[in-house]
Structure 1
Amino acid sequence: MSNEKGGLRWGVEQRLAFIESRLFWEGGVNRADLVATFDVSVPQASKDLSLYQGQAPNNLRYDSARKRYVATGAFEPLFFRLDANAYLRERSETEGELTNEEFVSAEWLPVPTRRIDPEVLRLIVAAVRERASIEINYQSMSPNRPEPFWRRVSPHSFAHDGMRWHVRAYCHRDERFLDFIASRCLGARDLGPQAMSRSDDAMWTGRFDVVLCPNPLLSDSQQKVVADDYGMTDGQVTIPVRRALLYYFNKRLRLDISDAVDRPSETPAVVKNRSAFHAALAEAMR
């Protein structure tokens, strides 16, 4: 990664990074891969391969039997950052489009996409951008609010909890900052003066350091692999989380499940600073 890239144009550098990624992850690359991925001509693909060979001559060799350039044992990345999650995500997104049997199959678990009205979102974004308030027609899940109703809010940010988008906003009716699920905002209208800004939202601007450690009920070997899995140092990892998002963090990592004692495998990582975490969580949920 320390080699000079020679001031290459962005498009060229992207194709060289692709060549390198294919060499590292798939073991080889040829002109057809470049043509199919970037819609370049065969001569351009050949030029890109020659350019890469000139930049990193020790990284590849031509295998005449496979008719592909393959990675050498001395391969060292020059144009892309090694990221296992990014590779698997890319494989899952391109699966079904590729017929080469050498490619690895990967699947990303499909989850229902929450439909957000583009026009409603556009108006809420405008309110955020202009530091204004706006009325939203919001469908609450509270039994006391079975029908949607209009309320004025001062939105300042958006947050994704791993499943859906939320609008973080000051509610003029309840006189406090709340999270509104974006897909349940059925209408938006009437920009007006802002009541509170992002800097006023202490739960949003403040962060809490969640300290995770392996579940002590696991075996030593199991705890070690959990520590490696979560990138822990000395048996723990600290994750700064916006206080407003602690509830979703707790749910997403399944830190709230009740069978942690009977089935520690269900909660391989637990909160080390538990008392402080629960106090911060309770404060965020008021």
Structure 2
Amino acid sequence: MGEQSRSLRWGIEQRLEFIEFRLFWEGGVNRADIIDYFGVSVPQASKDLTHYQEVAPGNMHYDKSLKRYFATDTFNPKFLEPDAAHYLSQVAAADLAPYATAQTRVSQPVGFATVPQPQRAVDPHMLRQLLTVMRSKRAVEIRYQSLNPDKPKPQWRWITPHAFCFDGMRWHARAYCHERRLFRDFLLPRISGVRGDGEPGAHASRDHAWHEIYNIKLKPHPGLSEDQQKAVAADYGMKDGEFEIPMRLAMLFYFRKQHLGLDYKEHEKDPQQQHIVMADPDSVRSAQTRADALPAE
């Protein structure tokens, strides 16, 4: 009964927060919004709106002609912590591209567009097998297609997977490679087969690059004008012209090279194209070298 009560309370709080989301970001809300999003009954939606008026008096008023509640000029959220990044992510989730399946709280987005990301095919049965192997902490043999010119055909190789990682576009299995005796990332779409069961290789605790947190320091490109550097600093919320981003050391390459084009020569690039650079490239180079060569034993 206690668990059921807590679940009910959580559901009510979610709906009250939803009401505030619509009031804050879209200016209004009605019963149909709550019914469509949560699948509750008409009486329950009416009860939620009444309850909200009781706990947040003066936050909304009802327009009989439009049959809709609107935020008042004195609206002050009590359940929602307004977050611009969260709202914009909700807007992006409303994109009607066929590969965007996330549910969104936004019903009336202004004009917007997102850059489409091709969806890479991952075999769900293969993924399920890897999950089972990870949970059992065992090794498995995978049929993997490398893009290394020395390996033009797929090869079977033993790995001990322990985690998944997403580089912003692709999903990888983080695993100990029995052949190279190092922890490496294996692209899930390139795994075309899974078989066998074996003794695990190095334990996940030995994946030092995975467990180490590295803080990369970034700053505006020095080739920008003083005002432009201030604008870039404001874009990223920099303090004293720099900011740090913590990440797993194992993810440094993806962040540095694939997302920001930081290749240790970014200072030489056109500042109009490369707005930020590494503040301490020597530290990053040392960290990247360590990430690429950390032994598992």
TM-score using structure 2 length: 0.86
Residue segments in structure 2 that go unaligned for 5+ positions in a row: 1-5, 97-102
- Matched with 1:284 is 291
Q: Secondary structure at the match of 2:112?
A: coil
Q: CA deviation at 1:254?
A: 2.3
Amino acid paired to 1:278: R
- Matched with 2:84 is 84
Instruction: Give the count of matched residue pairs.
Output: 280
Any residues of structure 2 matched to 1:1-286 within 5 Å, and which? 9-94=9-94, 103-250=109-256, 251-256=258-263, 260-286=267-293
Q: Could you tell me the percent identity over the aligned residues?
A: 45
Residue segments in structure 1 that go unaligned for 5+ positions in a row: 1-5
Structure 1 140/7 Cα, relative in aligned 2: closer, same or farther at 3 Å? closer
Provide the rounded CA distance (Å) in 2 between the counterparts of 1:156 and 1:182.
13
Q: Secondary structure at the match of 2:47?
A: helix
Q: CA deviation at 1:83?
A: 2.0
Structure 1 33/101 Cα, relative in aligned 2: closer, same or farther at 3 Å? closer
Q: Let me know the Cα RMSD of the aligned residues.
A: 2.5
Q: CA deviation at 1:149?
A: 0.8
Provide the rounded CA distance (Å) in 2 between the counterparts of 1:247 and 1:224.
27
TM-score using structure 1 length: 0.89
Amino acid paired to 1:123: Q
Provide the rounded CA distance (Å) in 1 between the counterparts of 2:131 and 2:175.
12
Q: CA deviation at 1:27?
A: 0.9
Structure 1 219/76 Cα, relative in aligned 2: closer, same or farther at 3 Å? farther
Task: Judge conservation of contact 1:260–1:266 (CA < 8 Å) in 2.
Answer: no
Q: CA deviation at 1:119?
A: 1.6
Structure 1 102/155 Cα, relative in aligned 2: closer, same or farther at 3 Å? closer
Amino acid paired to 1:253: L
Q: Deviations over 1:172-231 (max 9, x none)?
A: 111211111111111111121111011111211122210112222222332223222222
Q: CA deviation at 1:60?
A: 1.4
Provide the rounded CA distance (Å) in 2 between the counterparts of 1:265 and 1:56.
48
- Matched with 1:3 is none
Q: CA deviation at 1:133?
A: 0.9
State which drifts further: 60-69 or 80-89.
60-69
Q: CA deviation at 1:34?
A: 1.7
Provide the rounded CA distance (Å) in 2 between the counterparts of 1:239 and 1:176.
26
Task: Judge conservation of contact 2:232–2:275 (CA < 8 Å) in 1.
Answer: yes
Structure 1 14/164 Cα, relative in aligned 2: closer, same or farther at 3 Å? same
